[in-house]
Amino acid sequence: MKLRLSIFTLLFYFNQYSFSQELCPPSFIDVFGGDQENIVSWGEPVGNIGCGDYAINELPYVNQGSNVGQQDNWPVSGSQGADVAYTLNVGQTTTFDFTLCSMVTDYDTKLEIFTSDQDCAVPVSTGNYNDDDYTNCAEYQAPYPPSGLFGVTLQPGQYYVVVDGYGGAEGNYELTVSVTGRSDNSLANSVKTAWLIEEQKMAETGFKLMLILI
């Protein structure tokens, strides 16, 4: 009798403990209105953030931050320095807009999207990169139009949206991430396209030729 009571007590406390644990919240919650009902859709919980500093846990996502005093962990294309990485877990093929265009952003930014291995030892650029977004950012206080990547289509997987600074620049920024209906704009977002513009900028801002040609 005492043995049965002990087992019952153990199961009772185990059950209470299990239900008391906080579950991971769903991500990317959307509500679509209908005639008779509302339809709610959501993604899987973000889970671990891998090599990132912060998780993009909802869409649209807005975060104010700073790269001042941060380490240089990501090999952002061209001239770069201290960076901050945001983890984006993609469950199904989705097209996104990423922008630092904001009056909060007060320095010369750079933006690039990476993947990496589990040990965070081999970061690989997706080729989506931008320094100055003259096309989409008309109002700003930074010395150049803050970076933006628009119409970026990503396949399922874990990605890192890295905020950096041109020539080691540091300051405050505001990052906005949203799902877009635009078609893939991969040519405008490519390292190859952006690098031609950045080469000219580096020459105008006093970089030595040997650094520009690296």
Task: From 163, 160, 158, select the one nearest 84 (Cα to Cα).
Answer: 163
For residue 210, report the phi and psi dihedrals to the nearest 5 degrees: -65, -30
Q: What is the pLDDT of residues 33-42, one digit of tens each?
A: 555 665 554 5
Express each pLDDT in 62-88 by its tens digit.
999 999 999 999 999 988 899 999 999
Which of 113, 100, 123 is closest to 169 using CA atoms? 100
72 vs 86: CA distance, rounded Å: 14
Span between the terminal Cα atoms of the chain, in Å: 79
Give residue-wise pLDDT tens across range 100-140: 999 999 999 999 999 999 999 999 999 999 999 999 999 99
Is residue 145 pLDDT above 80, yes or no? yes
Q: Using alpha carbons only, what angle is made at residue 196 by residues 104 and 142, rounded to the nearest 5 degrees?
A: 15
At residue 17, the 3 state secondary structure works out as helix
Domain 47-212 has CATH 2.60.120.20: no
pLDDT for 213: 46
Residue 160 has pLDDT above 80, yes or no: yes
Q: What is the mean pLDDT of the chain?
A: 80
Average pLDDT, integer, range 147-156:
96
Asked if 125 contacts 158 with a C-beta cutoff of 8 angstroms, the reply is no
